[in-house]
């Protein structure tokens, strides 16, 4: 039995992955951005152990979530599932003055990765749209560029792959991978989505707990249990290191280069 923590598991892919893991007999800890969402997660996933609370748009709340996770762990796997799409109406700022798409989708996974102790497998949810992401680290907050919600989302999903690959390089004893679930009919994906919802959750479940040799890898980008080529920038050490430094400056938390 594995103990697995899943961010953003009150609905959508996170909830579905949690249900599958519970059905397989694993010890699952859920997450919601506030008490109501955490309680909704528990109602939706009978058999889960508990649900933690924390708004990933806030650095301090994300720190608190990491403390809760450490108290509930250690975890064999953490699935970084939570994410938001960029609003078309314009850039929104968090309580910390950051672009909220970047804060939730990219910075929060960095901070949780750096602070949650003892995890053996890390799975980061990305998107095929990461291929159109801009790796230019000068524009992480998109303060001076014309706003595009779609571009902000693509950029954040590219940095999820950058983070997964950086962790794989720096923590050789941890299996760290990125997963594209496809365009699936969740609240974010909408009813017109063309991919299968069940398939969208299957790969992260497999990477979290499977003993298959093909799942016991690191530094890969997966779509439906098959590796695919990621954006070339994700493998560039200069981009990885630059992203980690930027996140460290924003959070004052360093992702240590070695974890035994």
- What's the number of domains the chain is made of? 1
Does position 260 have pLDDT exceeding 60, yes or no? no
Q: Is the pLDDT of residue 195 over 80?
A: no
Tell me the pLDDT tens digit for each residue of 215-237.
999 999 999 999 999 999 999 99
Domain CATH number, residue 52? 3.40.50.720
Domain assignment present for residue 258? The answer is no
57 within domain boundaries:
yes
- Mean pLDDT, to the nearest integer, of 172-177? 97
> Is 259 within the bounds of a domain?
no
Under the banding of pLDDT at 50, 70 and 90, the label for residue 148 is confident
Do 104 and 56 form a contact (C-beta atoms < 8 A)? yes
Assess whether pLDDT exceeds 80 at residue 58: yes
Residue 87 pLDDT: 72
* 157 catalytic per annotation: yes
Mean pLDDT, rounded, of the chain = 93
pLDDT category of residue 55 using cuts at 50, 70 and 90: very high
The answer as to whether 260 is a domain residue is: no
Residue of 85, 110, 124, 153 marked catalytic: 153
Q: Which of 85, 110, 157, 221 is catalytic?
A: 157
Q: Examine residue 256 and state whether it is found in any structural domain, yes or no.
A: no
Which pLDDT belongs to residue 149?
86
Other Cβ atoms closer than 10 A to 127: 26
Identify the pLDDT of residue 190. 62
In this prediction the pTM is 0.95
Query: Is the pLDDT score of 185 beyond 70?
Result: no
Q: Is 120 among the domain residues?
A: yes
**DSSP structure string for 58-107:** SHHHHHHHHHHHHHH---SEEEE----PPPSS---B-TTSSBHHHIIIII
Handedness of CA 35, 36, 37, 40 (dihedral sign): positive
Reply yes or no on whether the pLDDT at 188 is more than 80. no
Q: Is residue 187 annotated as a catalytic residue, yes or no? A: no
* pLDDT reported for residue 192: 60
Range of the domain at 74: 3-251
pLDDT band at 186 (very low <50, low <70, confident <90, very high): low
Whether 114 is covered by a domain: the verdict is yes
35-38 — which CB contacts under 8 Å span 24+ positions?
A: 37/10, 38/10
Cα-Cα end-to-end distance for the chain: 22
Say if residue 116's pLDDT is above 70.
Answer: yes
User: Looking at the domain assignment, is residue 246 inside a domain?
Assistant: yes
Identify which of 19, 6, 75 has the alpha carbon closest to the alpha carbon of residue 46.
19
Cα–Cα separations (whole angstroms), residue 42 to 18, 48, 76: 10, 7, 21
């Amino acid at each position: 039995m594995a103990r697995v923590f899943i961010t953003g598991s009150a609905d959508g892919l996170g909830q579905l992955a949690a249900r599958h893991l519970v059905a397989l007999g694993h010890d699952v800890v859920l997450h919601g951005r506030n008490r109501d969402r955490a309680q909704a997660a528990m109602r939706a996933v009978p058999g889960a152990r508990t649900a933690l609370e924390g708004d990933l748009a806030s650095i301090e709340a994300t720190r608190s979530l990491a403390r809760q996770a450490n108290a509930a762990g250690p975890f064999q796997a953490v699935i970084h599932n939570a994410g938001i799409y960029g609003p078309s109406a314009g850039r929104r700022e968090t309580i910390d003055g950051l672009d909220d798409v970047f804060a939730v989708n990219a910075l929060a996974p960095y901070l949780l990765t750096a602070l949650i102790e003892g995890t053996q497998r890390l799975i980061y949810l990305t998107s095929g749209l990461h291929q159109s992401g801009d790796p230019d680290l000068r524009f992480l907050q998109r303060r001076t560029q014309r706003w595009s919600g779609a571009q902000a989302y693509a950029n954040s999903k590219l940095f999820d792959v950058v983070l997964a690959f950086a962790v794989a390089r720096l923590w050789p004893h941890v299996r760290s991978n990125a997963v594209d679930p496809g365009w699936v009919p969740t609240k974010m994906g909408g009813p017109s989505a063309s991919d299968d919802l069940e398939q969208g959750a299957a790969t992260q479940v497999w990477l979290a707990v499977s003993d298959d040799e093909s799942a016991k890898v690191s530094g890969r980008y997966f779509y439906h249990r098959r590796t695919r080529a990621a954006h070339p920038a994700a493998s560039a050490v200069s981009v990885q290191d630059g992203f980690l430094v930027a996140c460290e400056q924003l959070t004052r938390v360093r992702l240590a280069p070695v974890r035994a």
